Structure 1
Amino acid sequence: MAVTAGRRERLLASSWWRAAAAIGAGALPALTFPAPSLWWLGYVALVPWLLLLRSATTARRAALLGWLGGAGFLLAVHHWLLPSLHVFILVLAGLLGLLWVPWGVLAYRLLGGSPGPGRVAAALLVLPSGWLLAELVRSWEYLGGPWGLLGAGQWQVAPALRLASVGGVWLVGFLLVAVNVALAALISAPRARRTALGGVLACGAVVGWVWAWAPVPEPAGTMRVAIVQPGVIDGPGSVGRRFDREEELTRTLAGRRVDLVVWGESSVGQDLGSRPDLRERLAALSRTVGADLLVNVDARRSDRPGIFKSSVLVGPDGPTGDRYDKMRLVPFGEYIPARSLLGWATSVGKAATEDRRRGDGPVVMRLPDANGGQRIGPLVCFESAFPDMSRRLARDGAQLLVAQSATSTFQHSWAPYQHASLAALRAAETWRPMVHATLTGVSTVADPHGHLIGERLGPDRSAAAVYDVPLARGTSPYVRTGDWVLYGSLAVLAVTCAVEGLRFLRRRVRKPAPERE
């Protein structure tokens, strides 16, 4: 039966339809990340959501659509966690989606109705700032960390990588939201189309200026780095068999004049302090290859209480004493926040049954002079998602960033590709090449410009690969100036709140007092 025009209008006005549309519109930007990598979609992905928000009937409805869209975005970006967290992922998405409630209200206030040039000009600054505020809050390590920042979807776009060297992934995200706001205004605000078009041109001008005038890293030689990726090894005795496979692959590097060999996260399953046999086997490998090994130990320590994940540098005489203990742990995967309240998560998913312990601070390790004497800055697993950690290592003198990872649980999802893409962003931000070495998943290397080099080892590979990694000297603008984009966004929001507060007070003052009888 044909749907009448009146029924169609009622359907489009339905709260249920708009709620479902908000969830779908919020999920759309997730397609810009690997594996789909539809990076070009990022420039229009927020437009449907913005149009829904501006057409809300009340600010309360806009807040609801902002919440549902935020939940949809987080569900789409983290959908690969579903096998591990089950229904709990819905709870997390619902809670974190609340961070987009203010953004929804701002979009309604600035773009709703028939906005003029002034409101659209304000929206071009305020809405990107509001988006970054939501990303900043959810980037707190105890809320899951900065996985899936909007700007990270542009990791393979050369102009975006140049922007990252100036303002980090935050500048890329700010301009992306601004372009989306301008396009939404072009569609829905006929009175301010010139302002919206000017916003698009201004964003393009910023990108052009950075491309033409921003400094670039200066070459400073090369370093030969080998990645050992054993691949998926399951079943009884998997820890020992994985070590045997890593040992076998490392021996093939003999005579290839490497400066450093990197193993993935949890590549060693026993504490080296209590296993002299493993220490000797690793030292023998170092002597055979002629280079130090950076391994990763996931075990209960013999010298400190608790389980640590640690990057350990091993030379021809055994561990050199350089050790980095992972500082930022994966919520639920490596510890449970507020375990007394949320401990039940272990019964519905693969949450950690015992909390890992945290390290005390970042560490910069120095290789022997025979292998170039370079300084390396290790990171473990999703620590590569935190821009401040790689920036700190670069400021502390690291010439090479190394991220050791393992994505065995999520081997056949988008997660390994998303994780590997972060190497490009961190390298571009810091002007320091980054090695992303995985136990399983995707291993890759990015040069100081953020461009991937050499062979990428995919999830189906069990191999050892050697990379000639270009080094760079100098300090990137982002390392030098820090998160100025975030501070600027917070200032914009503070001014917006002050202006709205003054307007509210003026309305109260002008409101006539009730007449007395």
Structure 2
Amino acid sequence: MTALLPGAVCSAVLMTVAFPKPALWFLAPFALVPLLFAIHRKPAAVSCARVFAACYACAAAWQLASLWWIGYVTIAGMLALCLFVALIVAGALTLSWWLTRRGVPLWLSLPAAWMTYEAVVSYLMTGFPWLALGYTWQPRTAAIQIADLAGVYGVSFVIIAGTAAVTQLLCALTGSSPFRPAVTALAIAGAAMAGSLAYGAARLGELDREAPERSIALACVQANIPSNVKHDPRLDADVLRRHAYWTCEAAASNVDVILWSETALPGYFHERGLSYHTVTGLVRRTGIPLLTGMATYDYRNGAITYHNSACIIGTNALPGTAYDKMHLVVFGEYVPFEKYLPFLKLVTPIEGSFSAGSRPVLLELDTARAGRVSFGPLICFEDVFGYMARLMASAGADILVNLTNDGWFRSSPGPYQHAALSTFRAVETRRPLVRATNSGVTLAADRAGRITHVLTDAGRRTELAGMLVADIPVHAPRTTFYAAHGDWFLVLSCIVLVATTIAACLRRVQA
């Protein structure tokens, strides 16, 4: 283990800095090389237990260094999440090592194992695919266009194929393995990289040549309400005052709609209290509809159910059909098995649980300039999940809208990571995406995932108040391969790994 530790530590550091921030994306293909070279250089000289221990140490350090900001909300939950995900990472890398000892080339075992790891963390226990490797390449616009074919996971494959190639080349140069597998790995990685760049260049050219059918002018209000203020009923009037100030500033720009962030309204709008009277008066005064997040409740089967919702409040001061958030954050919006394991509430700050919505609902707005525009709402971390954006696109959304409150996480890497991964939903569905946040990062991205507008002050994008005005082009809707077929690439990767593992086991039995 001691001999493997330097490689594990080095890889943990490189993996951490490849993600925002500081977003040193060019390190991504090389980040795991120190660890992999250490365990593959002399595979017969190390035991499976030592390999797993080194991989787990690397993965745990990487997860903790990248996701420490979750501790602002729940330290116990952050530790449990990071250490659990590290088990999956270590298991995947150890399985890849074991397969290479059974004659499977690294260029096959590593991508299959890594993509299976990303599949597991994307779906197990509601999923948390936050650190998918492909997100590191968000600044590389051409390279991420393959996301409309295979999602962010296609980009992850290109990166991890490069990792396998570099590792095999180093092993060949040091005499640890023959050159033929290294040449094959380099050919595969080179083809994957060249293919993704060529596809990206072609797609970007096509998108840039396509003229929009219309455009809509909108403004996002970033009120920067601290968490201790946002959840103190005694300060509701101050919360609304801050939102109203920036809303009036935005109204001067003659926009078609103004966006507020997730649960921006204190209390419950339909109870016709302070929020109701303030917002309806504001909408009437400005003459501009408001698309906002709010908490709602209703009665179902004789019980009250609470929802994290979004709706448009029109100029007639009446709310339209609301969308209830479908994918809830475990320990953030609900506690699993709360009825049977009440002690689990000790790891979360929430006082009660939300209930999930049952279907995607578009928020539609009729405008004089752009006609009817359909917004596909993604609340909080729903923009982390490709399937949620696909649902909204399939329902007919013209624009994806992410309403979120990352104020809990201050100016940590969390809001920057969230902003980077959010833009992939635009590429996957070929819909523009707008983010209205409480404290940052508020932005607009085009169909290619390029950030076209962002609220910033002297380079700072978080913990500041302001408003962002953007003109969003609306194009004829299209259905991408990824939107139509979902995570087919992850399924294929899992099948390849299972088949390869079974074949390796059978060869061992026959031997």
Instruction: Specify the TM-score bucket, using the shorter chain as the normaliser.
Output: 0.7 to 0.9
SS of aligned partner of 1:487 = helix
Q: Take 2:374 and 2:36, find their aligned partners in 1: how far apart are those partners?
A: 46
What's the CA shift string for 1:68-124, capped at 9, x where partnerless?
333223222211122332244333322222212432223323556xx9xx743xx22
Q: Take 1:288 and 1:24, find their aligned partners in 2: how far apart are those partners?
A: 58
Q: Take 1:187 and 1:44, find their aligned partners in 2: how far apart are those partners?
A: 12
Q: Take 2:143 and 2:237, find their aligned partners in 1: how far apart are those partners?
A: 43
C-alpha contact (below 8 Å) 2:147/2:153 kept by paired residues: yes
What's the CA shift string for 1:195-245, capped at 9, x where partnerless?
232233222232234135458443323221110111134445333311121
Change (3 A) 1:465 1:100: closer
**Aligned: 1:46 with 2:29:** no
C-alpha contact (below 8 Å) 1:330/1:382 kept by paired residues: yes
Q: Take 1:353 and 1:72, find their aligned partners in 2: how far apart are those partners?
A: 31
Matched with 2:159 is: 176
Quote how far apart the aligned CAs of 1:460 are: 3.4
C-alpha contact (below 8 Å) 2:311/2:363 kept by paired residues: no
**Aligned: 1:486 with 2:490:** yes
AA in 1 matched with 2:4: R
Q: Which sits farther off after the overlay, 465-474 or 388-397?
A: 465-474
User: Of the two, which has the highest radius of gyration?
Assistant: 1
**Aligned: 1:424 with 2:428:** no
**Aligned: 1:367 with 2:350:** no
SS of aligned partner of 1:374 = strand
Structure 2: runs of 5 or more not aligned: none
Matched with 1:282 is: 279
Matched with 2:245 is: 248
Q: Which sits farther off after the overlay, 165-174 or 201-210?
A: 201-210
Change (3 A) 1:187 1:337: same
**Aligned: 1:467 with 2:464:** no
Q: Take 2:282 and 2:136, find their aligned partners in 1: how far apart are those partners?
A: 39
Structural RMSD (CA): 2.5
Quote how far apart the aligned CAs of 1:52 are: 2.8
Matched with 2:19 is: 33
C-alpha contact (below 8 Å) 1:271/1:301 kept by paired residues: no
SS of aligned partner of 2:31 = coil
C-alpha contact (below 8 Å) 2:260/2:290 kept by paired residues: yes
**Aligned: 1:231 with 2:229:** no
What's the CA shift string for 1:126-174, capped at 9, x where partnerless?
3112112111211237355211211111111112221212221010001
- Pairing 1:275-354 to 2, within 5 Å after superposition: 275=272, 278-298=275-295, 300-301=297-298, 305-339=304-338, 343-344=342-343, 346-347=345-346, 350-354=348-352
- Pairing 1:108-187 to 2, within 5 Å after superposition: 108-111=97-100, 119-120=104-105, 123-140=106-123, 142=125, 144-187=127-170
Q: Take 1:332 and 1:19, find their aligned partners in 2: how far apart are those partners?
A: 33
C-alpha contact (below 8 Å) 2:77/2:348 kept by paired residues: no
Quote how far apart the aligned CAs of 1:470 are: 2.0
Q: Which sits farther off after the overlay, 372-381 or 157-166?
A: 157-166
- Pairing 1:209-228 to 2, within 5 Å after superposition: 209-214=198-203, 216-217=206-207, 218-220=210-212, 221-228=214-221
Change (3 A) 1:342 1:30: farther
Q: Take 1:48 and 1:462, find their aligned partners in 2: how far apart are those partners?
A: 42
Matched with 1:503 is: 507
Matched with 2:8 is: 22
AA in 1 matched with 2:359: G
Matched with 2:57 is: 68
Change (3 A) 1:213 1:498: farther
Structure 1: runs of 5 or more not aligned: 1-14, 508-517
Q: Take 1:368 and 1:280, find their aligned partners in 2: how far apart are those partners?
A: 23
Query: What TM-score comes out, normalization by structure 1 length?
Result: 0.87
**Aligned: 1:396 with 2:395:** yes
Query: What TM-score comes out, normalization by structure 2 length?
Result: 0.88
C-alpha contact (below 8 Å) 2:374/2:396 kept by paired residues: yes
Quote how far apart the aligned CAs of 1:266 are: 1.6
Matched with 1:98 is: 87
Identical positions, percent? 29
Matched with 2:196 is: 207
SS of aligned partner of 2:360 = coil
SS of aligned partner of 1:227 = strand
Match of 1:262 among 254, 259, 262: 259
